[in-house]
Homo-oligomer: A and B are copies of this chain.
Amino acid sequence: MIDIIHEVYPYLHVRGGPAAIDFHKEVFGAEELVRLEQPDGRVAHAELRMGPATVMLADEFPEYGIRSPAAFGGTGTTIHLHVDNVDALAERALRAGATMVMEPVDQAHGERQCRIRDPFGHEWLLGHPIPAPSR
């Protein structure tokens, strides 16, 4: 290949950047690394450390064609997180305004999973390892 991919960052667009940053901190324990705010209060760019990854986040900028799940009525991307405890994290997310899309369930491939939708319309598939089922 001519080109090499050096880094990969999910970049979430939201309606309500400051509140979304708060949500990520409160629910996911995100650490705010960077926040560039515009005079109009919109977050032009933010970087949030989430475990080993950096998740980027910005407000909608319809003037540049940047819109969020709130504009589209949904999302075709999920962020899949491997976490310590799916149930505890989902409970905290729900308290912070998320909705449960798929209740926690033990999957046959050895992962307990649930799916939540955050208040900004992004969807998160949460998983933690469980013992493989006996056969």
Contacts and interface: CB of A to CB of B under 8 A. Distances in A.
A63 interface: no
Interface in A63-115: 64-65, 67-85, 88-89, 92, 101-102
Interface string A1-33: 111111111111110000000000000110000
B3 A89 contact: yes
Contact of A4 (B3, B29, B76, B102): B29
B13 A10 contact: no
A125 B65 CA distance: 13
Interface string A49-73: 0111101100000001101111111
A119 interface: no
Contacts of A11: 77-80, 125
A101 to B, nearest CB: 6
Given A2-B89, A12-B76, 7 more contacts: A2-B84, A3-B85, A3-B88, A7-B81, A7-B82, A10-B80, A12-B77
Interface of A: 1-14, 28-29, 50-53, 55-56, 64-65, 67-85, 88-89, 92, 101-102, 121-122, 125
14 contacts: A2-B92, A3-B28, A3-B88, A5-B81, A6-B83, A7-B81, A7-B82, A9-B80, A9-B82, A11-B79, A67-B74, A72-B73, A76-B121, A77-B122
